[in-house]
Structure 1
Amino acid sequence: MTSSPVVIIGAGQSGLAAAKAAESAGLRALVLEAGDRPAGSWPSYYDSLTLFSPARYSSFPGTPFPGDPDRYPTRDEVVAYLESYAATLDTEIRLGTRVAAVEQADPGFIVRADGGETINAAAVIAATGSFATPYVPTIRGQERFDGEVLHVAEYRDPKPYAGKRVVVVGAGNSAVQVAYELAEFAHVTLAARRPVQFVPQIRGGRDMHYWLHTLRLDLLPPSVLSRLIKGTPVFDTGNYRAALESGEITQRPMFTTFDSEGVVWESGAREPVDVVLFATGYRPHLPYLEPLGSLDPTGLPLHKRGISLTHRGLAYLGVEFQRSFSSNTLRGVHRDATYVVKALKARG
C-alpha cells in the first residue's frame, strides 16, 4: 500500500474492530466518525435495549465485558465498553468528522469531509452501519393517517404512549422487545407478515449463544443458515411467548392499508389506532459512496464477503449477514474485520 492511511469511516463496533485489525496487520489507519463519541449508533438506541447475547459472548477478543459474564449488557454498558475499547487503540480517531464523498484517485481514494477537508486514502473501509437509514415499507393510505408513525430508531421510552392504541410492525427481536415493554402502558398489537419465531434463550441449562458458539453455527455462511432457519429468530426466556399467548399482546397478520383513523386488516376490519411503530430493520447507510458507483440502484453495496466488486481497495463492515449470522454483531464483527483487512493488504 501507499504511505496514505487506510481510512475507516465510522467509529462504532465495526469501525473499532477494523481499526484493531489494521493495527494487528501493521497498517496505518485513520478512523473518521461523524458523532462526538466513538460508540457509533449505540447511544441513540431505545433506553431499555439489552443485548440478546450474554456478556461473555458479546465482546471483542482479549477485551471481555467487565462484571458478570452471564448478564445481558444494557445499551449504556455497551456504549461505555466501546468508548473504553477505543481508548486502548493506537489509531487516530477523528470525532465530529462526517464524510461527504469518497472519490477514486490514482492510486487509492480521496475522502472528502463535510467541512472541506480532503484526505488521501490507500484504501477505504465503509463501517457506518445502518442506523441512519431505517427501513419503513410503503403501505397504502399512510398519507391519510392522522395518528403517529415512527420507526423504532426514533423510539426511546414507553411512557409517552400510556393509554394509547399502538401497532408494532415486525417480528424480530426489537419488535417483540418493544411491544412487550409497551404493553405495560398501552394496548399493543404486533403485526407481521409471518408469525414470530421464538427460540429458547436457555437450552440444556445454557444460553443459546453457548450452543451457537460451541457448534460454530455463528460461522455458517448466510446461504447455509437460510436453509436451517426461516425468518428471524427471537430469543425468549418465555416471557414474550407468554405475553402473546395470554393476549397481553395481540398478534395479527400484517394490515393491508391505513385509513384516517387507523389500519385495515386483511379481513377488511377497520381498527382505530393512535400509533404505528415500525421495527422493520435498517439499510446500509452509504450515501458518501454514491459518487463512486459502488452501490446498486437501491443503495446497497456491491460486494462479496465485504470486499467491493466494483473498486479495488474498498471494503465494507457491519453489513447484515456479510459473511455469517454474527457479522454485524459485537461478538462477530471482529472476524469480518480481520478478513477484509487481510484482503485489502493482500491486494496492495
Structure 2
Amino acid sequence: MTDHSDVVVIGGGQSGLAAAYHLRRLGVDCVVLDEQATPGGAWQHTWDSLRLFSPAAFSSLPGRLMPPQPGETYPDAAHVVSYLADYEKRYAFAVRRGVRVEGVHRDGPHLRVETDSGAWRARAVISATGSWTRPFLPAVPGRPDYAGRQLHTVRYRGPAEFAGQHVVVVGGGNSGAQIAADLAYDTELTWVTQRPPRYLADDIDGRALFDAATARRRALDEGRTDTGGVASLGDIVAVPPVREARDAGLLTARPMFTRLTRRGAEWADGTTAEADAVIWCTGFRPALSHLAPLGLRGPRGHIPTTGTRAVGEPRLHLLGYGDWTGPASATLIGVGRPAREAARAIAADLQAGA
C-alpha cells in the first residue's frame, strides 16, 4: 500500500518540526515520518547535564518561544524535549512515529519514500534526519587494541558510572568541554584536544554564534571576504558548569595523544596516561543513507545544495545538517530561516506544477 502527501518530511526533531510549521502556514499538505517513538528528536538521548548555549528565549523554533527553565539561564536537554513535545502538540502536525525510512527513490513526477511500514509518494521531500545517529570515531593508532571502555558522546549519560576511574575525554569543542567539566570532580580526568581550548568570552553565547554564522553566509553569498564565522570567535561556549570547572583549575587540556595502548594513551614524547575509559567527543556525520538511491553524494559525504535544495534533485531539500544547508541550521534558533526558505520554494514549485 502506498500513501500520498504533497510533502514528506523525514525526521521529527527540531528541523522537521520547523519545516512542518512553515509548510502549514503556506497551506501545504505534509506528513512527518519519525523513527523515534516519542517527541524530542536527539535531545531525548543526550547526557543529563547538557546545557544549551543560549537562554531559552534565544533557542526557540518559529511561532513559539521556548519558556524559561526555572532557576536556569541555559536550559537543559530535558527542558528542550518538553518544549519540542509541546510544540508538536500545539500545532497538531501529522507525525507518524516509529517509522524508519529506508530509501528515497525517483518515481516519475514523484519521489517515493520507502519505509519499514509501507511507502509514500510525494511531490517534494525534506530530509531533516540530522547527525546524531552517525557518530564519528577517528582512526587513532591502537584504538582496536585498547582494553578499556570506549564510548562516543552519544553513549555518555553522566559521571556516576565513572566515579573513581581514570577517564580520557577526547575533543576540544562544546561537547568535550561540557563532558570534561562533568567528570572533573569525581574522576582522574585527562582532557585532550587537537589544539589548545579556545573559550569564547564569558558574555558570549549562542546568540552571537548565530549572528556570526549568518554574517559569514551573507558575506560568502555576496562574494565578500570570508569573515570566519563562528570559528573566528572560539570553539567553546563557557556555560556555567564549564566556567566553574575551568576557573577551579580542573580543565587543563593536554595535546592529542599519538596512539592508544592496551592500558591507556601514549604521547609522542613517550609519556602515558592510564585510562579505564576513553570518551570520544569527536563529532558526527550527516545521516543521509536513506538518500543513497538518488545518487547525489558529493565531497565529504555532503550532497551539493543551493540553499536547502539538492542540486541533483530539485524536489529534495536538506535541512538542519550544518552551515551547508543554512547558517547555523543545526541549532534551534538557526533552523527557522532555512526551514522557511525551503517551505516557500516547495510551495512555489507545487503551485507551478499544479
Do the structures match in fold with TM over 0.5? yes
Question: What is the alpha-carbon distance in structure 2 between the residues aligned to residue 292 and residue 210 of structure 1?
Answer: 36
Question: What is the alpha-carbon distance in structure 1 between the residues aligned to residue 331 and residue 208 of structure 2?
Answer: 17
Determine the structure 2 residue equivalent to 1:39: 40
Does the 8 Å contact 1:200/1:238 carry over to 2?
A: no
Q: CA deviation at 1:231?
A: 7.9
Question: What is the alpha-carbon distance in structure 2 between the residues aligned to residue 57 and residue 120 of structure 1?
Answer: 36
Determine the structure 1 residue equivalent to 2:79: 77
For residues 83 and 23 of structure 1, do their structure 2 counterparts lie closer, same or farther at Cα, with a shift above 3 Å needed?
same
Does the 8 Å contact 2:18/2:62 carry over to 1?
A: no
Does 306-315 or 323-332 show the bigger shift? Answer: 323-332
Question: What is the alpha-carbon distance in structure 1 between the residues aligned to residue 143 and residue 209 of structure 2?
Answer: 40
Determine the structure 2 residue equivalent to 1:219: 214
Q: CA deviation at 1:90?
A: 4.5
Determine the structure 1 residue equivalent to 2:188: 187
Determine the structure 1 residue equivalent to 2:223: none
Does the 8 Å contact 2:153/2:280 carry over to 1?
A: yes
Correspondence for 2:242 among 224, 240, 243: 240
Pair 1:312-2:305 in alignment: no
- Opposite residue 174 of structure 2, the aligned amino acid is N
- Opposite residue 265 of structure 2, the aligned amino acid is V
Q: CA deviation at 1:301?
A: 2.3
Q: CA deviation at 1:256?
A: 0.9
Question: What is the alpha-carbon distance in structure 2 between the residues aligned to residue 273 and residue 33 of structure 1?
Answer: 38
Q: Any idea what SS the aligned residue of 2:81 has?
A: helix
- Opposite residue 10 of structure 2, the aligned amino acid is I
Question: What is the alpha-carbon distance in structure 1 between the residues aligned to residue 18 and residue 230 of structure 2?
Answer: 29
Does the 8 Å contact 1:23/1:90 carry over to 2?
A: no
Determine the structure 1 residue equivalent to 2:343: 341
Q: CA deviation at 1:339?
A: 1.1
Q: CA deviation at 1:243?
A: 3.7
Q: Equivalences for 1:49-64 in 2 at 5 Å?
A: 49-64=50-65
1:220-262: CA deviation from partner (whole Å, max 9, x where unpaired): 2355342673485211157636645754233111111111111
Question: What is the alpha-carbon distance in structure 2 between the residues aligned to residue 225 and residue 133 of structure 1?
Answer: 29
Q: CA deviation at 1:325?
A: 4.5
Determine the structure 2 residue equivalent to 1:119: 120
Does the 8 Å contact 2:53/2:239 carry over to 1?
A: no
Q: CA deviation at 1:324?
A: 4.9
Determine the structure 2 residue equivalent to 1:321: 323
Identity value in percent: 35
Does 165-174 or 314-323 show the bigger shift? Answer: 314-323
Does the 8 Å contact 1:58/1:65 carry over to 2?
A: yes
Does 3-12 or 50-59 show the bigger shift? Answer: 3-12
For residues 118 and 106 of structure 1, do their structure 2 counterparts lie closer, same or farther at Cα, with a shift above 3 Å needed?
same
Question: What is the alpha-carbon distance in structure 1 between the residues aligned to residue 55 and residue 66 of structure 2?
Answer: 10
Does 130-139 or 56-65 show the bigger shift? Answer: 56-65
1:156-181: CA deviation from partner (whole Å, max 9, x where unpaired): 01111011111111111111011001
- Opposite residue 120 of structure 2, the aligned amino acid is I
1:309-330: CA deviation from partner (whole Å, max 9, x where unpaired): 1112001111111355421111
Question: What is the alpha-carbon distance in structure 2 between the residues aligned to residue 238 and residue 81 of structure 1?
Answer: 22
For residues 137 and 334 of structure 1, do their structure 2 counterparts lie closer, same or farther at Cα, with a shift above 3 Å needed?
same
List runs of 5+ in structure 2 lacking aligned partners. 221-225
Q: CA deviation at 1:195?
A: 1.4
For residues 256 and 262 of structure 1, do their structure 2 counterparts lie closer, same or farther at Cα, with a shift above 3 Å needed?
same
1:284-320: CA deviation from partner (whole Å, max 9, x where unpaired): 1111111111223753323232210111200111111
For residues 197 and 325 of structure 1, do their structure 2 counterparts lie closer, same or farther at Cα, with a shift above 3 Å needed?
farther
Q: Equivalences for 1:97-116 in 2 at 5 Å?
A: 97-115=99-117
Aligned residues: 339
Question: What is the alpha-carbon distance in structure 1 between the residues aligned to residue 161 and residue 230 of structure 2?
Answer: 40
Q: Equivalences for 1:220-299 in 2 at 5 Å?
A: 220-222=215-217, 224-226=226-228, 229-230=231-232, 233-236=235-238, 240=242, 243-244=245-246, 247-296=249-298, 298-299=300-301
Determine the structure 1 residue equivalent to 2:140: 139
For residues 211 and 151 of structure 1, do their structure 2 counterparts lie closer, same or farther at Cα, with a shift above 3 Å needed?
closer
Q: Any idea what SS the aligned residue of 2:67 has?
A: coil
Does the 8 Å contact 1:97/1:114 carry over to 2?
A: yes
Does the 8 Å contact 1:28/1:91 carry over to 2?
A: no
Question: What is the alpha-carbon distance in structure 2 between the residues aligned to residue 233 and residue 325 of structure 1?
Answer: 17
Question: What is the alpha-carbon distance in structure 1 between the residues aligned to residue 50 and residue 69 of structure 2?
Answer: 18
TM-score norm. by structure 2 comes to 0.89
Q: Any idea what SS the aligned residue of 1:201 has?
A: coil
Does the 8 Å contact 1:254/1:266 carry over to 2?
A: no
For residues 237 and 77 of structure 1, do their structure 2 counterparts lie closer, same or farther at Cα, with a shift above 3 Å needed?
closer
Q: Any idea what SS the aligned residue of 2:200 has?
A: strand
Q: CA deviation at 1:344?
A: 2.5
Q: Equivalences for 1:188-207 in 2 at 5 Å?
A: 188-202=189-203
For residues 243 and 335 of structure 1, do their structure 2 counterparts lie closer, same or farther at Cα, with a shift above 3 Å needed?
same
List runs of 5+ in structure 1 lacking aligned partners. none
Q: CA deviation at 1:26?
A: 1.9
